[in-house]
Structure 1
């Protein structure tokens, strides 16, 4: 009988969080729990007071993970499969709750043994070291890990494989040796993608009240608009990050959203938390330089967007009405920052116009997601058979916005503001062109962006918007 080589005779143990997968299941489980019921947040400190093991156990008892959708590190997974094929014993040694660890082991089918956090013990650092030494002896196993919690295990391993190390593990590897397994690292582009900087374009709506009041060259108002833009952009990015945390499982099943920084594991959730803290500090600090009314609108925006992330986004029709309201809040924020009054006409137009564009987003999701009749789209309140009524409501909202604009153009307010009010009339067909074109492209399956961002970026839309701006400027001369 052939004898095993030294390498084959030595088991290979591998850590889970940050090593085999590019994420941390404790954080992911916590957000799955809060998504189920935000009130669990008040129980987390109680559970944690009894130790990390209880916290993990309580979370695992209430949520399930999608083992097939996790961001596995391809380099590590390939290495484990090759070692297993060569006859080596592969051990999953993790501080993750046993329920999660066994679900992953069952999905991958490459582990001979699972060591994980149980009812009483949090299997990290010294406890993991002791468990492995008890099973295989000192220097009787190789170990792959990534963080400061793995340093004691590295010390007892025959060979250490350091994967995507944090600064503690990187320092250990540089001084003590061991194999370094590099993985893709985030770049500035990754951080910009996390912030969704392209979505900041929407905050240009803050300048609408100033522009419509013809205060184009008022330096004070322009500065206020800039500060309000910075404040709203920072707040919006913070909420986008939180929203990404709640949507990790859904994003990983989406053909394009699976590449988002947190869904793919390129950025860690602790980094995301730190970013949220910085962004909210920037947002609220900037708001202090503006009128108190602006702070009120900003806080309301933060509350509503947070509620949207928690539950509103899954409510039929309430979600799109909320989105339309959030766009309108940007206009109100601009009015609060500059002290300009907002007319009923502008708010009515805004609600209908942005409701139409919000319905475009849902329509595109329904078109691009194959669903059997009667089944809801993941994370939404819509079903396949709702597609036509969503489109009809969207087109009706588009025409309603144009009608409101036409009634406004024929009002006494326009005759008072503009010397040549007849030049403002083309704005109504311009609005119809913008919205109808978006809907036609959506019907053709050619609408892949947020419709508001699309209008801002699309050169044809830019041309007609520029024509409308010139006409308004000429009408006021």
Structure 2
């Protein structure tokens, strides 16, 4: 559960001294640091995509009909939702003082009842019923009729202003400045619970540290140094386009995995899972990121736009379906890494050699296998991961063998590439490239060893740039390649 700051009051003491015995609490954005319409949508999409798509036209019958359809498809675990600790404590104190607590939400009645049953702090539950959307003026009229002696209402958004006007006393929770100003200018006595907006929550959800993987767009330029400095700007464009497309994919992945992340020992701190970033905001941010990515891609070349679009579609397919299929997930991850190199080649107009493509497929298959090996070895996540993705603990042995075999094949392909006459012509001192091979053998072997011992808690690519030994290997490899180019 997430907390709030202490209350500030805008009401006169005489106005707040006698409050009605009924406390009515809104759900989305108030009791819960999330929005259940979007929670249900993403849960339903991850569980049964086609049924979710068929449910969307229900919106023609009204939002209440859509909410009921999504609730019936989704499987939201109400036990792990990001409840606000301070709001829960206030409700408990209200009931301890002899008052009645009521949950009144625009979310579906079925969902409201599940949440109330889990928390055990509400005397009544009222929600949308598939026909009536209990929000705004509709909620205000309902509560007036239900509690003619008055009620205190706790809400968060502009939609609650109509309800606050009908209430005897108002409590806002994390409301924006305009909502607070409108509430204070009314006749209803009001007090305000403020929430800290976590800095850079959206940036965290976009995972800029993962953009390091998109530096792979520079591989075609490194492999063909004769292209010239004119290729740098298109390469940067490809990097930015892939990064924004990747961030959109990460948002989708986190929204689809909300329930699973909340039960994860580390991923539960992600912005959406923790409730520091609203699923609604994330859903709206996705098309914005994709539009920026598409525009930059198109400025470089239409072909790059096609490559970036393929990358995004493959990323979503991985998140929605294929990451739950044994071995297919590893193959698709390897393809996504290779596609970054292909996008870099398209951006600078370079034709990639078979050697480069073969090397990338083998090396990235090895890294994807290392990622799965690390998850299978991690005692905190192994049970959860194996149950979701079809792996079993005994697969560690074969997965480690796949990682080692694929990694060593990548080194063999690199050696053949270095020995190729065309490569000898492209580099001033191609013999320096031979030094990369033993470094890669050491690096791959060490990565597998670390993962098998349960010492790798991050993505292998992130581990590679944060671990001291891996950084030195990368630095030495970079120096050898630089020397092969300029000497």
Provide TM-score, normalisation by structure 2: 0.91
- Secondary structure at the aligned position of 1:151 is classed as helix
Distance 1:310 1:87 in 2: 48
Counterpart of 2:105 in structure 1 is 94
User: Which ranges of structure 2 fall in alignment gaps of 5 or more residues?
Assistant: 1-15
- Secondary structure at the aligned position of 1:18 is classed as coil
User: Which is worse superposed, 68-77 or 261-270?
Assistant: 261-270
Q: Cα offset for 1:258?
A: 1.0
Q: Cα offset for 1:9?
A: 6.1
Counterpart of 2:193 in structure 1 is 181
Aligned with 1:412 (options 414, 421, 442): 421
Q: Cα offset for 1:21?
A: 0.4
Counterpart of 1:425 in structure 2 is 434
Answer yes or no: is 1:148 the counterpart of 2:158: yes
Q: Cα offset for 1:372?
A: 9.1
Question: Quick one: structure 1 residues 87 and 6, their matched pair in 2 at CA, closer, same or farther if it must change by over 3 Å?
Answer: farther
Question: Quick one: structure 1 residues 450 and 371, their matched pair in 2 at CA, closer, same or farther if it must change by over 3 Å?
Answer: closer
Counterpart of 2:389 in structure 1 is 380
For the 8 Å contact 1:14–1:145, the answer to whether it is kept is yes
User: Which is worse superposed, 169-178 or 78-87?
Assistant: 169-178
Aligned with 1:394 (options 384, 394, 403): 403
Q: Cα offset for 1:221?
A: 0.3
Q: Cα offset for 1:69?
A: 0.6
Q: Cα offset for 1:167?
A: 5.1
Distance 1:255 1:371 in 2: 8
For the 8 Å contact 1:414–1:421, the answer to whether it is kept is yes
Counterpart of 1:280 in structure 2 is 290
Q: Cα offset for 1:81?
A: 1.6
Counterpart of 2:7 in structure 1 is none
- Secondary structure at the aligned position of 1:288 is classed as helix
Counterpart of 2:65 in structure 1 is 54
Distance 1:420 1:371 in 2: 47
Distance 2:190 2:392 in 1: 53
Matching of residues 204-243 of structure 1 within 5 Å: 204-215=215-226, 218-243=228-253
User: Which is worse superposed, 428-437 or 380-389?
Assistant: 380-389
Distance 2:162 2:306 in 1: 51
Distance 1:399 1:392 in 2: 11
Q: Cα offset for 1:434?
A: 1.8
- Secondary structure at the aligned position of 1:23 is classed as coil
Aligned with 1:63 (options 50, 74, 99): 74
Q: Cα offset for 1:92?
A: 0.7
Q: Cα offset for 1:8?
A: 8.1
For the 8 Å contact 2:21–2:151, the answer to whether it is kept is yes
Distance 1:372 1:471 in 2: 38
For the 8 Å contact 1:29–1:63, the answer to whether it is kept is yes
User: Which ranges of structure 1 fall in alignment gaps of 5 or more residues?
Assistant: none
Counterpart of 1:367 in structure 2 is 377
Counterpart of 1:458 in structure 2 is 467
Distance 1:22 1:372 in 2: 29
- Secondary structure at the aligned position of 1:19 is classed as coil
Provide TM-score, normalisation by structure 1: 0.93
Distance 1:96 1:159 in 2: 23
Kindly indicate whether structure 1 or structure 2 has the higher relative contact order, using CA contacts under 8 Å at least 6 residues apart: 2
User: Which is worse superposed, 122-131 or 21-30?
Assistant: 122-131
Counterpart of 1:307 in structure 2 is 317
Counterpart of 2:38 in structure 1 is 27
Question: Quick one: structure 1 residues 154 and 460, their matched pair in 2 at CA, closer, same or farther if it must change by over 3 Å?
Answer: same
For the 8 Å contact 1:8–1:86, the answer to whether it is kept is no
Q: Cα offset for 1:22?
A: 0.6
For the 8 Å contact 1:345–1:408, the answer to whether it is kept is yes
1:25-68 Cα shifts (integer Å, max 9, x gaps):
11111112222232235424421111111111111222232011
Distance 1:215 1:272 in 2: 43
User: Which is worse superposed, 92-101 or 293-302?
Assistant: 293-302
Q: Cα offset for 1:274?
A: 2.9
Question: Quick one: structure 1 residues 280 and 313, their matched pair in 2 at CA, closer, same or farther if it must change by over 3 Å?
Answer: same
RMSD: 2.2
Question: Quick one: structure 1 residues 78 and 368, their matched pair in 2 at CA, closer, same or farther if it must change by over 3 Å?
Answer: farther
Q: Cα offset for 1:333?
A: 0.5
1:6-29 Cα shifts (integer Å, max 9, x gaps):
868611110001100011111111
1:230-282 Cα shifts (integer Å, max 9, x gaps):
11111111111111111111111111111111111111223213322221111
- Secondary structure at the aligned position of 1:426 is classed as helix
Question: Quick one: structure 1 residues 312 and 106, their matched pair in 2 at CA, closer, same or farther if it must change by over 3 Å?
Answer: same
User: Which is worse superposed, 380-389 or 302-311?
Assistant: 380-389
